[in-house]
Chains A and B, each alone.
Chain A
Amino acid sequence: MAVKSIAPYEFASKDTADKFPAPLLYIGWEDHKMFCSPFCAPMPPSMKFGELVRGALPGMYGAHPDFARIDWDRAEWFVSGRPFTPDMDKTLAENGLGHKSVIRLRTPGLTGLDGTCF
């Protein structure tokens, strides 16, 4: 199905990659809905995945008591819902992440405040 319109109805997406300082990456931490929604942030494609984890995530998630308890070796990652094993030393682009990719982090054993997934 497509939009029904009286005349041609084609408009460029408002959110193509060229309009941003860097491609957008969406990041969610499973079972920690205290951060009410996944995050959205521009991330340089040249950034190493490890830098994302060490550099960006603490600022995003550090306020949660579980964050300090994460065992990063056991962390599980997903891209668009599918399991994914990131290479920490490779860049986001080399890990296959592009504009508007969604990654999710699961930290087994950590299920939020009183186990409520918040």
Chain B
Amino acid sequence: MDMKVSKKLGLKERYNLMTRDLAWTPTYQSVKDAFPYMEYEGIKIHDWEKFEDPFRMTMDSYWKYQAEKERKLYAIIDAFAQNNGHLGVTDARYINTLKLFLTGITPNEYMAHRGFAHVGRQFPGAGPRVACLMQSLDEIRHAQTQIHSLSNYNKHYNGFQNWHHQHDRVWFLSVPKSFFDDALTAGPFEFMIAIGFAFEYVLTNLLFVPFISGAAYNGDMGAMAFGFSAQSDESRHMTLGLEIIKFILEQDPDNLPIVQAWLDKWFWRGYRVLTLVAMMMDYMLPKRVMSWKEAWEIYAEQNGGALFNDLARYGIKVPKGWSQACKDKDHLSHQAWNVFYNYGAAAPFHTWAPGEKDMEWLSAKYPDTFDKYYRPLWTHYAKEQAEGRRFYNGTLPMLCQVCQVPMFFTEPDDPTKIAYRESEYRGMKYHCCSDGCKHIFDNEPEKYVQSWLPVHQIYQGNCFPEDADPSRPGFNPLAEVVRWYGIGWGRDNLDYADSEDKKNFETWRAQATGN
């Protein structure tokens, strides 16, 4: 229910009075001093009034509907905790997806909250300001509902307890962290294209729908509830993203090349982050919803295709890395899970080789690639593990300077060859995993020379606990890094087969079914 004002006024007019009409152009201070970040990116805005409000929601309706969602959600969270709902999930392997979520996604919901507060302060246009600030509120909601929902898992399973500490430190978490840091440190317009449009509109369905449906498929009412509840805000966010890109493009023809370059960059940055989702869908869910490949076809190829078709009238082209991403869909998840299998000692969740039934599913979903390229690897690992030699990689990987993912990605047309790309800047070599990342580096080297690359930081000696002594005989650098990460050795990391999580889950489940 929106504010009931004069019956004569329509929704749009009413909303105008409630938002835009409140704003004015300052005269005691210059516009440039009040909104100092509006010019340096080169985007030209002539008339902020032309922005189309995505949803016309006043604060009273916002409070009312959001409070209703919150009441429902917390009722479910409470019931889930009281009833030991965690014991109803398919098996404890599933819980590792939640650890990935809490450490990798939740802190970035918070980053989005701060980012939208920033642009919500900086835009001189009242329409986008208000929409951005509502999104900022929504994003802190998402961070908090996730922390609260997963709090009960944290009480019973290992690997959730240090999410805050780990987000700023652990090697693979620097992938999503650097993504959001990159967006927030960019200018306000680029942030909107990066997060508001490229991430929220083009890629968010690939992130959340699989996670939430995964929760539903695996009996996790708690995670399903927070996921769906968060998604209900997402339609507002997606619409803001679409309206803002259209608005910028309509304002001035000079904006097109800038926006296109940002789209190329942020599609690729976002796609690299989704690597984690691909492996989650295909390898970490005991009961799978759909394959990464199927999700990519529905949400990227069909839906994204329709979107870029629609934007073509502004001169926007499909982002640069699009066709490579479409080629990768047969390979991405398999290659990615191998990275975590390799470095399973350094991650705060458990890893495992897929079992025979899992491989049947993978083979059916990836008829052209799984048996040919990937099955022998998992079979080999299983054999080694059965003989007491579970493979862990003990040497640190080379990372991409831009996306920060270990350099496992293969050439677009040859899944057997790792792609290496090299640039030189100010007399030093920089390495990237792909044309997409190299392109990003070459455009803004001043930015990416600053990357806090976890592997390099380890070698610089910045990732050991204070009491560690590298000069002591028998100093084990990997073990010390893991300690600095706040990962309990043998408890939070290593193979699922030997984990406390597995043992506890089975014991507790047995208590539920017997005496």
Contacts and interface: CB of A to CB of B under 8 A. Distances in A.
A5 B446 CA distance: 11
Contacts of A117: 373, 416-417
Interface stretch (A14-22, A44-52, A67-75, A87-95): A14-22
Contacts of A26: 398, 431
B408 A37 contact: yes
B515 interface: no
A53 interface: no
Nearest to B405: A37
B398 A40 contact: yes
A28 B31 CA distance: 55
B422 A80 contact: yes
Nearest to A10: B446
B395 A11 contact: no
A20 B426 CA distance: 18
A47 to B, nearest CB: 16
A114 B376 contact: yes
B444 A3 contact: yes
B452 A14 contact: yes
Given A6-B40, A100-B429, A116-B374, A59 B459 contact: no
A99 B444 CA distance: 22
Interface string A15-38: 110011100101010110111111
Nearest to B426: A13
B417 A13 contact: no
Contacts of B42: 4
A83 to B, nearest CB: 14
Contacts of B41: 4
Nearest to B336: A36
Nearest to A98: B429
A19 B459 CA distance: 9
B412 to A, nearest CB: 16
B373 A6 contact: no
A21 to B, nearest CB: 7
Contact of A63 (B376, B391, B429): B391
Contacts of A15: 428, 449, 453, 456
B6 to A, nearest CB: 44
Nearest to A63: B391
B459 A9 contact: no
A1 B443 contact: yes
B431 A1 contact: no
A14 B397 contact: no
Nearest to A31: B416
Contacts of B36: 6
B446 A11 contact: yes
Nearest to A20: B459
Contacts of A2: 443-446
B418 A33 contact: yes
Secondary structure at chain A's binding surface: helix, strand, loop or mixed? loop
A40 B426 contact: no
Interface residues of B, number: 58
A118 interface: yes
B416 to A, nearest CB: 4
B447 interface: yes
A34 to B, nearest CB: 6
B499 interface: no
B282 to A, nearest CB: 16
A37 B343 CA distance: 11
Contact of B447 (A3, A35, A36, A39): A3
Contact of A36 (B40, B335, B372, B389): B335
Interface string B390-431: 010111111100000011101000001110101000101111
A39 B398 CA distance: 5
A13 B401 CA distance: 11
Interface string B425-455: 0101111000000000001111101111101
Nearest to A28: B418
B456 to A, nearest CB: 5
A113 B382 CA distance: 13
Nearest to A6: B40
A19 B456 CA distance: 9
Given A6-B40, A116-B376, A99 B428 contact: yes
Contacts of B455: 40
Contacts of B449: 11-15
Nearest to B443: A1
Contacts of B342: 35-37
The 6 closest A-B pairs by CB, nearest first: A117-B416, A37-B406, A37-B397, A114-B376, A13-B449, A100-B429
25 contacts: A1-B444, A4-B42, A11-B446, A11-B450, A14-B451, A15-B456, A28-B418, A30-B418, A31-B416, A35-B393, A37-B342, A37-B397, A37-B399, A37-B407, A38-B397, A38-B407, A38-B418, A39-B396, A41-B395, A59-B395, A63-B391, A81-B422, A99-B429, A116-B374, A117-B416
Interface of A: 1-6, 9-16, 19-21, 24, 26, 28, 30-31, 33-42, 59-60, 63, 80-81, 99-102, 104, 113-114, 116-118
Interface of B: 36-37, 40-42, 187, 261, 335, 338-339, 341-343, 372-374, 376-377, 380, 389, 391, 393-399, 406-408, 410, 416-418, 420, 422, 426, 428-431, 443-447, 449-453, 455-457, 459-461
